[in-house]
Amino acid sequence: MGATSTEQSFALLKERILKDGKCLPGGILKVDSFINHQIDPTLLRAMSVEFVKRFSDVEINKILTIEASGIAPAVVLGMLLDVPVVFAKKKKPSTMDNMLTTEVFSFTKNTSYTVCVSSDFLCPQDKILFIDDFLANGNAAKGMIDLIKQANATLVGMGFLIEKAFQEGGKYLRAAGIRVESLALIDSLDNCQIKVR
Ligand code: 5GP
């Protein structure tokens, strides 16, 4: 993929955030007309092509995400990479065997919850790319790091459609030596104005 198409895919997401994104009080960006409720698969495919390019130097055999809003981008990318996609569940299914669990604090819901994944699907030989819609304070990402550690799997990188660069998650993860790729960076949502880098 050449530089032009890369620039176009950035422009696509950036333009869409500015056109259709809505600011909610408390520094929340609502993107439910194209990512979080109604989903634009063509946009997600373009974003996934960009992730493929950015992570082309690492070996990935599984994508991990967290329900619900990470699933759509993760599946589109999984299709392009031809690897399975596992999503951490927010409710413990009674049927789940060999469960690994961790606690995640939810930025949007302001509460902690337990997430789980079966060790049948997160294994020591797995080279994991974590994908999510947003990176804010990095709590979901920290929970996934814990699950990956418990499974003795390897984290090869983390990809986010949107990183809120004014929150601490990106700094924390990069300082921890994790490869983080974010397709759109939001510098500020102050005064309900969306500032995209
Ligand atoms: P973090 O765990 O990094 O603090 O927050 C990331 C998670 O919270 C993502 O899974 C995402 O679903 C949700 N989130 C954080 N900030 C926003 C936001 O501004 N808008 C939306 N729609 N979700 C967010």
pLDDT at 2: 44
Residue to mutate (ligand 1; options 89, 107, 146; most atoms within 8 A of CB): 107
Are the CB atoms for 158 and 180 separated by under 8 Å? yes
Tokens, residue 120: 């049948």
Q: How far is the CA of 173 from the centre of ligand 1 (A)?
A: 15
Domain 5-196 has CATH 3.40.50.2020: yes
10-residue averages of pLDDT along the chain (197 residues) = 56 95 94 98 97 98 97 98 97 83 89 94 98 98 98 98 98 98 97 95
pLDDT at 107: 78
Alpha carbon distance 82, 75 (integer Å)? 10
Chain-centroid distance, C-alpha 87:
11
Its pTM stands at 0.95
Tokens, residue 163: 């990183």
Alpha carbon distance 174, 41 (integer Å)? 29
Q: How far is the CA of 108 from the centre of ligand 1 (A)?
A: 6
pLDDT at 3: 45
Tokens, residue 77: 């990318």
